[in-house]
Amino acid sequence: MPQISVLATGGTIASRQDSRGASVASQGVQDLLAGVAGGTTEVVSRDIFQLGSYLLDHAHLRHIAEEVALEVARDDVDGVVLTHGTDTMEETAYLLDLVHSSPKPVVLTGAQRPADAADTDGPSNLRDAIAVAAAAGARGTGVSIAFAGQVFAARATRKAHTVDPAPFRAMDGGPMGRVGADDVQFRFRPVRPPALPVPSAAFDSTRVDVVSLHPGADALLARAAVDAGAKGVIIAGTGVGNGNHQILEWVEEAVDAGIAVGLSTRVPEGPVVPFYGNGGGADLVGAGALPLGSLPLFHARLLLALRISHGETPAPDMLAPYI
């Protein structure tokens, strides 16, 4: 019988209305598991914290990564499930995937409807996540998100709808698997690059900001980010990753000052393709901006932050396996 460790961090799946009628994460893991565990899987569990994922910072993410690594290292644990709010689940999943080196699966899940809603989706999602973590076919797939009967690889998955019960969408090929009535079926296995070191304490204070471009945008916000202590800034460019002359001037200044500048796009799908001049992506890359391929914008932010926190200077060849 496989043994799965369930770690809880709060989120909608653990939320109930307070005296004001607002939903607040307040349930522990034992409440979440009531009526869920059993069958052919043995479950051990513990709480990490109880927070909505909109409250998490880098220190919380590092703590989650450390706790997951401890569970994965246990000889008696075959897989790990992490309950988490959906607001930033994609970011935590991606960070965990970057540092996950074991064949044991790690599966994130949560809910779109709180625990005290008549139609809460938390128990079914948690049941599915445990099934995925226990499935033999999940070994070697890294970190995934199990939600609404589908299984998504962490690398290219984003929350695409605020309230839909199936909010996640894979940006490069759809879900990698589905949870059936009696089994878990996988369509493909993600190709995963070498694992990076688990975040150190330096990750907590490593600031990487995102600046989105629009008609009339200047470099004021990018400069303010650096003044506030950012060691990296990602430009969410227009189209395939374009800027303008003011942003180009700032990129030249920032790169000269040792600031890591990433080039992404504000477009939900598709890669950065730096081939426009006259302030476009080709000029930004020529000035030292790092093109971030098809990696989702906020995944890219974590990748830069992790590498910078380890004392590295991000470069195209260093980032290439991860984008």
Q: Which residues are catalytic?
A: 12
Query: Are 265 and 272 a contacting pair, CB within 8 Å?
Result: yes
Q: Are 45 and 85 in contact (CB under 8 A)?
A: no
Rg (CA), the chain: 20
- How far is 193 from 320, CA to CA, in rounded Å? 10
User: Which pLDDT does position 40 carry in this prediction?
Assistant: 82
**Residue with structure tokens 């049941």?**
127
pLDDT at 172: 79
Tokens of 211: 């600046």
Residue 316: other Cβ atoms inside 10 A: 11
CB 291 within 8 A of CB 272: yes
Instruction: Please tell me the distance from the alpha carbon of residue 221 to that of residue 226, in angstroms, as a whole number.
Output: 9
Q: How would DSSP label each residue in 219-281? A: SHHHHHHHHTT-SEEEEEEBTTTB--HHHHHHHHHHHHTT-EEEEEESSSSS-------TTSH
Give alpha helix (H) positions in the chain: 29-33, 58-72, 89-99, 122-134, 220-227, 245-256, 281-286, 297-309, 316-319
Distance CA 155, CA 293 (A): 12
CB 62 within 8 A of CB 203: yes
**Pairing relation of β-strands 184-186 and 157-159?**
unpaired
Residues 6+ positions from 275 with CB-CB distance below 8 Å: 240, 281, 282
Which two structure tokens, joined as six digits, stand for 20? 């004001």
Q: Please, which residues have CB within 8 angstroms of residue 181's CB and are 6 or more apart in sequence?
A: none
Contact (Cβ atoms closer than 8 angstroms) between residue 196 and residue 303: no
178 SS3 class: strand
- The span from the CA of 73 to the CA of 82, in Å, is 15
Q: Quick one: residue 20, left, alpha or beta (phi over 0 = left, psi -120 to 50 = alpha)? A: alpha
Res 253: pLDDT: 97
Identify the bridge partners of residue 209 per DSSP, sorted by sequence position: 233
Residue 152: CB partners within 8 Å, gap ≥ 6? 144, 145, 146, 168, 170, 175, 176
Q: What is the pLDDT of residue 133?
A: 97
Element (H, E) at 119: none
pTM confidence score: 0.96
How high is the pLDDT of residue 38?
65
Please, what are the averages of pLDDT over each run of 10 residues along the chain (323 residues)? 96 95 94 82 96 98 98 97 98 98 98 96 96 96 97 94 96 91 92 96 98 98 98 98 98 98 96 96 98 95 98 94 92
